[in-house]
Structure 1
């Protein structure tokens, strides 16, 4: 009995030892430091995200106030903002769209990109937008001068084409010049109309002098010969 109990206690001890050895060991000093730094870093990220959200909300509120003032100011037709980042431009475009305004971004590189707002009734023309894209200031008077110059150039080009056409056309009608040779009647009017005839082809019937058939013509010729022989007996004897 004692030997069995001893063996059971040994087995229990081995099982307990294996369980204890499989359990996670308590963290060392290095592991605790790593976890502390990870918690601090996560806290900093969360704080930065909250700060970023707060800044975006504050910027949007500021833009909403400026856009509202711009709409109520009847003396302003457009408004140009200083260069700003991509996020700020996106917020300003969204605020302008909600307010019913037209907005565009201009500038070649990211650092110089800026936003311009336009009231709907004063939407920019294609020429104005092209000037802003080129980095030029929009001058309505200069644009009107350019438009007139383009219209004048187009009129001169059209006049030049008309002049070239008039030079190609003859000054006189060749029919009048050579009427003594070709006559005044058109060839179509002067031509004779031919009517096809089954017996005579395309020769007009009126132009046919002898309308008899071949058999009738041959009989007439034989009759003339007989009449000639009867009238001239000498001709009859000479034929034989």
Structure 2
């Protein structure tokens, strides 16, 4: 027997559950399975109900909103999936775990800001009020520009008058007619960057140019030859000394 087998053999076995504990565990398992089956049945039932309502809602061309009864969070998530599959807009309203419900909207008739705000606040939305408010706001908007335009026209200086900023900063500018007097006229420097053509020409002949190039290269070649000769001499001396030894 190996070491591991001897250790396992010397260990005590785990205590076995009593008959009472086994019955409790079995009852708990059966209760859990029953609750899961019940939840599954309720979910399928809710799915069928919502699906049938959505089909009727989409078939009715006059209907633009569909309000579902309050439901749990899991059922609402299922309703959201059904709405997404049907191409509808879904929003939840109400208080969680009290009266939270779901409302479907057709994409061609989405909720307005006023309607959405009213539903969020738990109020009944009245489209006639929104029309009255929009008509009154449009009327005020149509009246206001005319009065504002008159005031703006009266305050705007006519052509040829002195701008307001010149009157405001007259003490800094030195007068109202100081702009042309104090302006500095800039004239371009035509000679800037000019190089005479005589400076650009090389007056040497071709032979002279080649000779100059050779004369610049010759010192470099002489230096290289001198270094090679010294290296050869030192190598020869080292070889002769080694042969003598």
Question: Which whole-Å deviations, capped at 9, do the CAs of 1:34-82 have from their partners, x for residues lacking one?
Answer: 1221121112112211221121112112211121122122332211122
Residues 169 and 41 from structure 1, CA distance in 2 versus in 1: closer, same or farther, beyond 3 angstroms? closer
Alignment equivalent of 1:105, drawn from 92, 96, 100: 92
Is residue 2:18 matched to residue 1:50? no
Greater shift, 148-157 or 111-120, is seen at 148-157
Normalised to the residue count of structure 1, the TM-score between the two structures is 0.55
Alignment equivalent of 1:32, drawn from 19, 28, 49: 19
Equivalent position SS for 2:92 = strand
Equivalent position SS for 2:90 = strand
Is residue 2:137 matched to residue 1:150? yes
Residues 108 and 169 from structure 1, CA distance in 2 versus in 1: closer, same or farther, beyond 3 angstroms? same
Residues 167 and 81 from structure 1, CA distance in 2 versus in 1: closer, same or farther, beyond 3 angstroms? same
Structure number with larger C-alpha Rg: 1
Conserved? CA contact 1:84–1:111, under 8 Å: no
Is residue 2:107 matched to residue 1:120? yes
RMSD: 3.3
Deviation at 1:26, TM superposition (A): 8.6
Deviation at 1:162, TM superposition (A): 2.3
Whole-Å separation in 1 of the counterparts to 2:151 and 2:95: 46
Q: 2:59 matched to which residue of 1?
A: 72
Q: 1:218 matched to which residue of 2?
A: none
Question: Which whole-Å deviations, capped at 9, do the CAs of 1:21-40 have from their partners, x for residues lacking one?
Answer: 9775995xx82211221121
Equivalent position SS for 2:103 = strand
Question: Which whole-Å deviations, capped at 9, do the CAs of 1:164-211 have from their partners, x for residues lacking one?
Answer: 323435699879xxxxxxxxxxx89xx9xxxxxxxxxxxxxxxxxxxx
Is residue 2:65 matched to residue 1:62? no
Whole-Å separation in 2 of the counterparts to 1:35 and 1:61: 39
Alignment equivalent of 2:116, drawn from 129, 139, 142: 129
Gaps of 5+ in 2: 1-8, 163-176, 182-245
Whole-Å separation in 2 of the counterparts to 1:93 and 1:135: 20
Conserved? CA contact 1:80–1:114, under 8 Å: yes
Gaps of 5+ in 1: 1-18, 176-186, 192-240
Whole-Å separation in 2 of the counterparts to 1:126 and 1:63: 26
Whole-Å separation in 1 of the counterparts to 2:18 and 2:149: 93
